[in-house]
Amino acid sequence: GENVEQHPSTLSVQEGDSAVIKCTYSDSASNYFPWYKQELGKGPQLIIDIRSNVGEKKDQRIAVTLNKTAKHFSLHITETQPEDSAVYFCAGRRGIISNFGNEKLTFGTGTRLTIIP
Amino acid sequence: NAGVTQTPKFQVLKTGQSMTLQCAQDMNHEYMSWYRQDPGMGLRLIHYSVGAGITDQGEVPNGYNVSRSTTEDFPLRLLSAAPSQTSVYFCASSYKLDQVDDTEAFFGQGTRLTVV
């Protein structure tokens, strides 16, 4: 099955600087890679995702890059703000056809991001 | 829309007790799943369902049962609680993947379970 590794486990960044979180995956058939943000006491919430036919995707201060050959993808947050402090999870999933079993998301172990004012 | 609703938010059980964690969604999503979240281990899939009447095991299914009698509800049953099941449990739902552009998984707020 899929294995997703995420680094670093903790990251402290000065407010206004950039933060980068990296993930690698093992299943070459995976083609959907979402990133989730989890604030204290809440469930994970999707912040950005990328599909394997795209190399980069941006949404304001957040961007995700994907290298299919190397099987890794990264989350980039620019101009960090205190409200960016949270735990971030990457994930991977295979398939766009609804075959039974292809729908499973495999998560990384999470990165606790702290923005220092 | 309430999204994904989990109850209860907190629960303390004694070893050997049974209980059901409730999950309901009002988005008409076919796919629903249960995860447990433990420190340093991310989210691990317990069971999932691709539609009413269809369920399957995830990565860590032992000690848990599920059923899916309706599209909206996907309860998780702990048969005989053990301290190793102390965790935070999340339910999630999404459309099936044949709706390619709309596959976001929506999570509930979680249930914090302690087994003593």
Distances from the Cα of A49 to the Cα of A56, A71, B15, B71, B91, angstroms: 10, 15, 40, 26, 20
What local confidence, expressed as pLDDT, does residue A17 receive? Answer: 98
Question: Which residues in chain B touch residue A89, judged by CB atoms under 8 angstroms apart?
Answer: 42-43
pLDDT at B78 over 70: yes
CB atoms within 10 A of CB B98: 12
Residue A96 confidence (pLDDT): 54
Question: Do B74 and B32 touch, CB atoms closer than 8 A?
Answer: yes
How distant, in Å, are the alpha carbons of A64, A92, A104, B27, B54 from that of B23?
31, 24, 18, 13, 16
Whether A92 contacts chain B with CB within 8 A: no
Q: Assign A44 a pLDDT band (cuts: 50, 70, 90).
A: very high
On the question of pLDDT at A12 being above 60, the answer is yes
* Out of A79-83, B12-16, B93-97, least confident range: B93-97
pLDDT tens-digit series, residues B53-74? 999 999 999 999 999 999 999 9
φ, ψ for residue A94 (rounded to 5)? -100, 155
Q: What confidence score (pLDDT) does residue B98 get?
A: 58
The pLDDT value recorded for residue A97 is 46
- Whether residue A67 lies within 8 A of chain B, CB to CB, comes out as no
The answer to whether residue B1 scores a pLDDT higher than 70 is no
Q: Which of residues 59-88 of B touch A (CB under 8 A)?
A: 59
Candidates B103, B106, B112: best to mutate against A (most CBs of A within 10 A) is: B103
